[in-house]
């Protein structure tokens, strides 16, 4: 079976998490993870450009062949939801320009795929990501852990 490398992305204007996971012969392994932070003192367009450039750098460094992002969940705060949607659009554009196919999953699909429960809380998801990737500690910060959970979910749903 061929090696699959997936980048999971948890988009946000202030913090965009990413997690890269390999899968070979149904075995998962961690490649990298982190968070792209933008400075609230920068203009909105500069923050979006920063996310784009830094996601592009991650793609150039790790060469994922597939991508995952969580579907947008509209909470009560529409201002923050719009900022997340814009960050998601920037990431989607970057992936499309690099020819990397993107799959979207609902939050409850990710929780269920990683933990077996649609109602799992963040700490439970983080612990399961730790176990599934054989890490000594749960991944932090939570934006990176969410991105890793998304990458694992994609591999779960597209296993062949």
User: Among all residues, which ones are annotated catalytic?
Assistant: 10, 70, 143
Phi, psi angle pair for 150, to nearest 5°: -65, -40
Write the DSSP string, 49-80: HHHHHHHHHHHHHH--SEEEEEPP---S-HHH
Contact 67, 101 (CB under 8 A): yes
Three-state SS at 18: strand
Burial class (CB in 10 A: 0-12, 13-18, 19+), 102: middle
């Amino acid at each position: 079976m061929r090696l699959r490398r997936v980048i999971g992305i948890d988009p946000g204007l202030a913090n965009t998490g990413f997690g890269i996971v390999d899968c070979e012969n149904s075995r998962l392994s961690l490649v990298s993870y982190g968070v792209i932070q933008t400075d609230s003192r920068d203009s909105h367009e500069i923050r979006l450009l920063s996310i784009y450039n830094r996601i592009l750098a991650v793609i150039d460094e790790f060469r994922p062949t597939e991508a995952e992002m969580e579907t947008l969940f509209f909470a009560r705060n529409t201002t923050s939801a719009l900022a997340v949607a814009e960050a998601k659009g920037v990431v989607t554009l970057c992936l499309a320009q690099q020819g990397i196919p993107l799959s979207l999953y609902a939050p409850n699909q990710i929780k269920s795929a990683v933990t077996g429960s649609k109602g799992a809380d963040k700490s439970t998801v983080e612990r399961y990501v730790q176990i599934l990737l054989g890490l000594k500690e749960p991944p932090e910060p939570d934006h990176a852990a969410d991105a890793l959970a998304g990458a694992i979910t994609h591999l779960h749903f597209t296993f062949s």
